[in-house]
Copies of this chain bind each other. A is one copy, B any other.
């Protein structure tokens, strides 16, 4: 029923050469296939200037990962923190009885390891090919202590992550399956927009199981809701993306 012919080109995980002319003084900019780092505007490092940028860059190790690679495992010693520069990373936690909760999907500009805790609070696994700046956790912590501006910036990021987590709590606690799916799609759309603008095409590099575990549903229920919204003409659903046909209806479903 649903078209499955598409691929992930809409994700635009590669860097855009048009940004070549951007400010060269920021982390990650020298290391990515000759292109400038276009995530700086919404990345944690955008608060730094002058020498501090060079110092942070000295600590940053540019890394590339294939899709479906673990970046960190819950409860393991936290060696590193990451600043994602391209791709998508799934953040999740496994309960002892095998149930799993997905907390979110990190996008370019997102920082993984905000708590700076000894042990990783959750798993982080790539869903697509990912590039990231990797930092030694101890070094990063020390550097942060010497840079109040960076500390302040990370504080703000953590506070807004907390606000986002509370939104998610309200979604899980108050909403029906259909509303949850609408919230998920519109939330992802908004977060993707900071890179490429609002689009009606939403790439879904994660599996239905990931979506289900994010929304506190089963894979079957997610599938049924997609099918329902597809039949109603609200969405065009494919395995690896959806296109929004009736944004208004979706927004009404997701209305706070």
- List residues of A whose CB falls within 8 A of some B CB: 93, 95-97, 99-101, 103, 114-117, 121-122, 145, 148, 151-152, 154-155, 158-163, 165-166, 168-170, 172-174, 213-216, 255-256
Contact = CB atoms under 8 A, between A and B. Distances in A.
A99 B174 contact: yes
Nearest to A165: B165
A216 B173 CA distance: 4
B174 A169 contact: no
* Residue from the set A96, A148, A166, A168 with the largest chain B CB neighbour count within 10 Å: A166
A122 B162 CA distance: 12
A255 B172 contact: no
Contacts of A145: 148, 152
- Copies of this protein, total: 2
Given A95-B174, A101-B173, A173-B215, 15 more contacts: A93-B170, A96-B255, A101-B169, A101-B170, A115-B159, A117-B163, A122-B166, A148-B151, A151-B151, A151-B152, A154-B155, A155-B155, A158-B159, A169-B172, A173-B214
A213 B172 CA distance: 11
Contacts of A255: 96-97
18 contacts: A95-B174, A97-B255, A99-B174, A101-B173, A103-B169, A116-B159, A121-B166, A148-B148, A148-B151, A151-B152, A155-B158, A158-B162, A165-B166, A169-B169, A172-B172, A172-B173, A173-B216, A174-B216
Contacts of A93: 166, 170
The 4 closest A-B pairs by CB, nearest first: A173-B216, A165-B165, A172-B172, A101-B170
B148 A101 contact: no
Contacts of A101: 169-170, 173-174
Most chain B Cβ neighbours within 10 Å, of A96, A114, A174: A174
